[in-house]
Amino acid sequence: MMNKKMMVSMVSMVCTAALLMTGCSVSINGLPASSKSDNTVSEHTVGDYSQTMTDEAANQFKDELSAFEIAAEQRKRAASNKAGYSVLDAGRGNPNWINSKVRSAFTRLMDFANEECKLVMDNGDMAEHGNKYGISERFAKFMNPSDETDRFLLDAVDHCEKELGMEKDDLLFEFTNGIIGDYYPDPSRCLSNTEQILNEYIERALFNGKEIEAGTDIFPTEGGSAAMCYIFHSLNHNRILEPGDKIAIGTPIFTPYLEIPNVNNYGLVSIDISADKDHNWDIDPAQLDKLRDKDIKAFFLVNPSNPASHALSAQTLERLKDIVKDNPDLIILTDDVYGTFVTGFESVYSALPDNTILVYSFSKLYGVTGWRTGLIAMSRNNVVDRLISELPDEDRKALKEEYAIAVSDPDEMKFIDRLTADSRSIGLYHTSGLSTPSQIFMDLMALSHTTYEKDEYVEMANALVNERYNTLMKALGLEPDMSGENARYYALVDVNALIADRYGEEFAQWKKDNVSDLDLLNDLADRKGVVIMYGPGFDAPEGNVRISLANLNSDDYKEIASRLLELLDEYYEEFESGLEDEAA
């Protein structure tokens, strides 16, 4: 199967050749100018390009280019926008804030670990591994209780001892060895105390007070995207998802996740389970009921969603529970990266732990997209382990032979441990696992949330995106969605509806006929220096754009609204001019 870039290249060559043969000029630079339904030639120019392209070719390009490739092109355009405005890029989902406390704590813990190593041997730049005996007493002497960073570390260690039942010397030795990073992770899947710390974090942050009766196993990964790739690979490798199997995808959704089944050649059949504006971006119950079909092997969603930024309602979670009674083998994969931006959020995992694989990343809340810190969590009593045990004898025998190189009893190897082995190569199982310094950094992020009864940082992060969201909505003249399920990390704006409300239906129809969604985004970048995301690239309805509320300041969102309305006013002038020409 061709990858996306190969397909885009082929579409480009085929369309260009066809149009040249018919005498038409084409735009072979930049993005398509229009996407009308017929095959007429578009005359709406793109930036400084005067070439044209048939709408058929434009549609083919639109289908192949992802929303992120489109945004990358618009960033180039925005840099030299005609108005000379400063560039406002609301296309990126990474936050423009960080948690400074955990970074300071990481640095301070590294200093302590270095000193521990020097106590054993201090020979210029060379030191030796630290000593576990008496480490808690040395830690207490090293830290200054009146220093804010040191106080947090002291409190965090005390919390682990008193609330999680950890032995201080064991914990601090894991911290110091881990942060130094001189050994492979041991156990490979997750450091022992780290697993407990991360378990407490996800329970506190994502489960709305619920506990997982069977307990949860955790595999730290290089961010949420890597987690998803590992999961699909191992489900396929372990004969749980095979070519031709149906997998349901909750849409709209983060663009690369739409491509996983095809780009990685798994040969899966995708079924849409759509959320829509009529249901306030919750899943339509009739859509959700598709999952009762036992031919659907897995359901994949982001919750809260991207780009709509809404969490599933309590009613939808209850309906999912009922659906699983009809389809007990259903595997649910949920990415809950935005969960902490919804007060009282409950994950699908805490509602249906035995059927759900949870993916979470620290990236958005803590400003660590560059660190690549995420995790996979699974109940110790899960549907995937059961399905593996029920595989045909021939498949189980083949898998046993493969995993026998890594463990002594492969039949008893849990799926999450197979994931860990598969993430490298089964023969390199002993070298798998997330780097130990990254795991210790995850510990500190988790403990910054769980050590104290109140987490002011999370409250500030939520207040920040709320302020930006309300500023944008007010500036656009739109009613804000104040529902409890709205994470407000992104705003999905229906520009066509905005135009109809502001200018009337006649102009709204003219815009649909003459200015495609891509035209608008190109013009917004070319003329006004604004970059926002193409909504249909996330499988959102035509006319929708995604505006990230994570990476600009509040006043910038007021300015984005002003420039968007300025562009629409220019379109309206063009529309009125056309009416005058017709009257003349």
**DSSP letter for each residue of 514-567:** H--HHHHHHHHHHHH-EE-EEGGGGTPPTTEEEEESSSS-HHHHHHHHHHHHHH
Contact, 199 vs 170, CB < 8 A?
A: no
Q: Which whole-number Å values give the CA distances from 208 to 203, 346, 350, 417, in the listed order?
A: 7, 5, 8, 27
Helix (H) / strand (E) element for 209: namely none
Return the pLDDT at 537.
81
**Count of all residues that appear for the chain in the document:** 584
8 A C-beta contact, residue 527 and residue 83: yes
**Residue 268 confidence (pLDDT):** 80
Peptide bond into 220 cis (omega under 30): no
8 Å CB contact between 307 and 492 = yes
Residues with Cβ within 8 Å of residue 577, at least 6 apart in sequence:
none
Record the pTM. Answer: 0.86
Q: Which two tokens stand for residue 570?
A: 């220019």
Whole-number pLDDT of residue 471:
98
Tally of CB atoms within 10 A around 343: 13
Exposed/middle/buried for 165, CB within 10 Å: 0-12, 13-18, 19+?
exposed
Q: What are phi and psi of 549, to 5 degrees?
A: -100, 15
First to last CA, the chain: 56
Name the helix (H) or strand (E) containing 344: none
Query: Quick one: pLDDT at residue 21?
Result: 33
DSSP sequence for 346-401: --HHHHSGGGEEEEEESHHHHT-TTT--EEEEEESS-HHHHHHHTS-HHHHHHHHH
Torsion region of 434: left, alpha or beta (phi above 0 gives left; psi -120 to 50 gives alpha): beta
Alpha-carbon torsion, ordered 240, 244, 250, 252, to 10 deg: 140
**What pLDDT, on the 0 to 100 scale, is given for residue 33?**
35
Please name which of 51, 61, 49 lies closest in space to residue 24, comparing C-alpha atoms. Answer: 51
Place of tokens 């490798």: 237
Enumerate domains of the chain plus CATH numbers: 4-95+458-583 (3.90.1150.10), 100-182 (1.10.20.110), 220-430 (3.40.640.10)
Contact of 404 with 410, CB cutoff 8 Å = yes
CA distances from 248 to 92, 251, 381 (A): 27, 9, 23
Residue 459 burial (10 A CB sphere; 0-12, 13-18, 19+): exposed
CA nearest 218: which of 416, 367, 355, 47?
A: 416
Residue 244: HSE in the Cβ half-sphere, 13 Å Cα cutoff: 1
Question: b vs e for 547-566, b when ≥16 Cβ sit within 10 Å of the residue's Cβ?
Answer: bbbbbbeeebbebbbebbee
**What whole-number distance in Å separates Cα of residue 441 and Cα of residue 175?**
9
Could you give the CA distance from residue 19 to residue 327 in angstroms, rounded to a whole number?
50
CA atoms within 13 Å, Cβ hemisphere of 208: 16
Rounded Cα gap, residues 392 and 388, in angstroms: 9
Three-state DSSP state, 331: strand
| Cβ neighbour number for residue 125 with a 10 Å cutoff | 5
Query: Which residues of the chain are modeled with pLDDT < 50?
Result: 1-64, 263
Beta bridge partners, 533, equal 546
Each residue of 163-175: pLDDT tens digit? 999 999 999 999 9
- Of 480, 93, 485, 476, the closest CA to residue 307 belongs to 93
Give the contacts of 521 (CB within 8 A, at least 6 positions apart): 70, 74, 532, 534, 545
Number of other residues whose CB lies within 10 A of the CB of residue 532: 24
E strand or H helix that includes residue 317:
helix 314-326
CA distances from 231 to 218, 219, 382, 407, 509 (A): 13, 11, 14, 20, 44
Which of 381, 337, 375 is closest to 355 using CA atoms? 381
What type of residue is 168?
Answer: K
pLDDT of residue 473: 97
